[in-house]
Copies of this chain bind each other. A is one copy, B any other.
Amino acid sequence: MNNTQHKRSCCPVACTLDILGDKWTLLIVRDMLLGRCYYKDFCQSPEKIATNILADRLGKLVEHGIAEKWIPDNVSGREAYRLTATGQSLKTVLESVAQWGLNNIKGTEARLKAKSK
């Protein structure tokens, strides 16, 4: 991952938060881990992300090498997004976040399942 932008420190936590530290990015990654890949799919998630935010975050995920555009050739010709190997490796982060939420926030329900391949 190339990091041309400002880095607050060399701490891996700080650098990761520079990329993922907001309320929306990890939710898009979550959706991609669940197998969703179309813009429309992300819009339809229960959190109801605004379309300008979604477009911005998708662009940044691609820019950081976490996701990439691709055209699923088996179905319609519409372009879609999917995680790169780097993005896939965020699964452990998502799982620890989800687990913490389940343990410590009442009213949460498990939904995250790895996409079966």
| A56 at the B interface (CB under 8 A) | no
Q: A47-93: which residues lie under 8 A (CB-CB) from chain B?
A: 47-48, 86, 89-90, 92-93
Q: Is the CB of B15 within 8 A of A107?
A: yes
Q: Is the CB of A47 within 8 A of B97?
A: no
- The size bracket of the interface on A is 35 or more
Q: Is the CB of A98 within 8 A of B13?
A: yes
Q: A93-B96, A93-B97 are in contact. Are A11 and B104 (CB under 8 A)?
A: no
Report copies per complex. 2
Q: Is the CB of A101 within 8 A of B22?
A: no
Q: A21-B22, A99-B92 are in contact. Are A48 and B8 (CB under 8 A)?
A: yes
In the bound complex, how far is the Cα of B7 from the Cα of A99, in angstroms? 17
In the bound complex, how far is the Cα of B3 from the Cα of A40, in angstroms? 30
| A14 at the B interface (CB under 8 A) | yes
| A116 at the B interface (CB under 8 A) | no
> Which residues from B are CB-within-8-Å of A47?
8-9, 11, 14
